[in-house]
Structure 1
Amino acid sequence: MGWGAGQHGEVADLLWDDVKCFFDPDFMGSLPDVRVPDASAQDWQAVLDLVAEEGWKCQYSEGEAVLPVPRAEVVLSRPADAECPALRVWPTADVLAIFRFHADDEVDFDVDLRELQGQERLDVFCSFLREIGRRLGKPVLMDPEGDSGHPVLGFDVEADRVVLLAEPLAR
């Protein structure tokens, strides 16, 4: 792991001044898509287990109904015309990620960039991506809203940290 590893001495993955253009709601859309491609129902379950283990506050709902968090395969095997369930996860009180169970081959969630302003919130977000990426051993990518397939940043499994995947824009 090297120097400064571990939760407390960790150097920030990304510096706010370097990446703030990617957290500009006017530029990225306020709800960019965060995804783990090439996933499986087991990966979804691993995310649910991680949420429970970390003690992150969460709320599972189908339409208006708030329900206990089911097993991933139960959610993913619902009929095609059923409401798309959502799992809201708060890694901290001020930061919300909303997981949407669209498909078993992609773990997919939204974040609200308006909640991710400044270094402290950025660190929370990076830590959240890192926890998910480490648990799954897979990249976790953030795309601009509605522009899937062009990630701007994400958790890199080899580097074991969140890295920029696009050039920041000078404004």
Structure 2
Amino acid sequence: MAELRWDDHARWLLDPGRDGWLPEGWVADTTVADWQAVLDLVVERGWALTFVVGCFEMPLPRAEEVLSWPVGAAARPVLSVRPGPGIGVVFRFRSAERIDFDVDVAELRGQDGLDVLCGFLAAVGRRLGRSVPTCAEGGGVPFLGYDVGADRVLVR
């Protein structure tokens, strides 16, 4: 993933001290099968994970089960994943139609962290055959993401 260089492109985009935001990522127009493909990817890659509902840690269920839980439930499921050192990703199961996640960049330092982040975005995008954009917390214009047409992570 060395196409993006920390010093050239990403330092100013992903500096946790800059604005204190968590980049948001997503994959649009998804299905329950797409969610399951991402859950399978997490398990296949051996990424550390924690699945929590409210205050309770539970075994990772199938996507169909999680996405069938009532929308208004007080405790919403959250999947935390560590694809590598310095990178935490939190998936939120809001709907089958869109896979949403936040990237914790508090520990992301230098080229190694950027490579892990790019590898994660590319792995999800390749598994689903879709682009995976990220933007600043709260929305806005995507600034970094996996582009399915180029088959690589690009700064936008």
| Rg (Cα) greater in structure | 1
How far off its partner does 1:122 sit?
Answer: 0.2
The residue correspondences of 1:28-43 to structure 2 (distance < 5 A) are 29-43=20-34
Aligned to 1:96, the other structure's residue is in SS state: strand
TM (norm. structure 2) is 0.92
Aligned to 1:162, the other structure's residue is in SS state: strand
Give the ranges of 4+ consecutive aligned residues of structure 1 lying more than 2 Å apart after TM superposition. Answer: 24-30
| Structure (1/2) with the larger strand percentage | 2
Could you list the per-position Cα deviations for residues 97-138 of structure 1 after superposition, in whole angstroms to 9, with x for gaps in the alignment?
111111111111111122222111000000011111000001
Give the gaps of 5 or more residues in structure 2: none
Greater mean alpha carbon deviation, residues 26-35 or residues 84-93: 26-35
Q: Show the counterpart of 1:70.
A: 61
Distance in 1, Cα, partners of 2:19 & 2:33: 30
* Alpha-carbon distance change, 12 to 28 in structure 1, aligned in 2, over 3 angstroms: farther
Q: Show the counterpart of 2:11.
A: 20
TM (norm. structure 1) is 0.84
Count of matched residue positions in the alignment of Structure 1 and Structure 2: 154
Could you list the per-position Cα deviations for residues 11-52 of structure 1 after superposition, in whole angstroms to 9, with x for gaps in the alignment?
513111212111023555421111111111111100000011
The CA RMSD over aligned residues, in Å, is 1.4
Could you list the per-position Cα deviations for residues 86-106 of structure 1 after superposition, in whole angstroms to 9, with x for gaps in the alignment?
111111243211111111111
Correspondent of 1:137 among 116, 129, 139: 129
Give the gaps of 5 or more residues in structure 1: 1-10, 166-171
Aligned to 1:43, the other structure's residue is in SS state: helix
